[in-house]
Amino acid sequence: MKRIFIITALVLLAGCSTQASRMADCRAQGISKDACYIVEQNRQTAIETTAMKQAMENSAKQYAQTAKRVVHVRIKGIDIKIFPGDKQGYIESTAAALDEDNADAQVYRKGIFTAIYYKRTHKVVLMRNGQIYGRTAV
């Protein structure tokens, strides 16, 4: 069993090389030290650029997934639009203040109206002057 692990490790590490060994190979081909150094720097820059590009793409995809979610309901003629990922809410097309945000719900308030979006059950409750005015599932 140990032999399999050792052989596997040797096969995996066979393609790896250190910066010093790459510089030595470059110098062995008769190329100047400065040119070898520039080639190595370009190699490292290319790797870092590729990693940064991939990270930015992943970040953009993740943001797009959260930004796409929109909760848009109408309760008794009152239009409510909530963007949970951006933590923005609108009641009657006017920005509502975010009063509370926890794992269960987001609470938005505008004038006499309070809209509560329950994240886990995907329901919206509209309150008017502190009393339930209406509710709906998203």
pLDDT digits (tens, 9 = 90+) for 24-79: 888 888 888 888 888 888 888 989 988 888 988 888 777 666 556 889 999 999 99
CA distance 39 to 100: 55
| Collapsed DSSP state (helix, strand, coil) of residue 30 | coil
What's the alpha-carbon Rg for the chain, to the nearest Å?
A: 29
Q: Is 8 part of any domain?
A: no
pLDDT reported for residue 67: 54
Domain residue limits at 49: 19-65
- For residue range 74-87, what is the model confidence (pLDDT) as tens digits? 999 999 999 988 89
Total structural domains in the chain? 2
58 and 108 housed in the same domain = no
In the chain, count H helices and then E strands.
3, 8
pLDDT beyond 80 at 133:
yes
Q: Where are the alpha helices (DSSP H) in the chain?
A: 2-14, 19-28, 33-68
- Measured over the CA atoms of residue 78, residue 83, residue 84 and residue 88, the dihedral's sign is negative
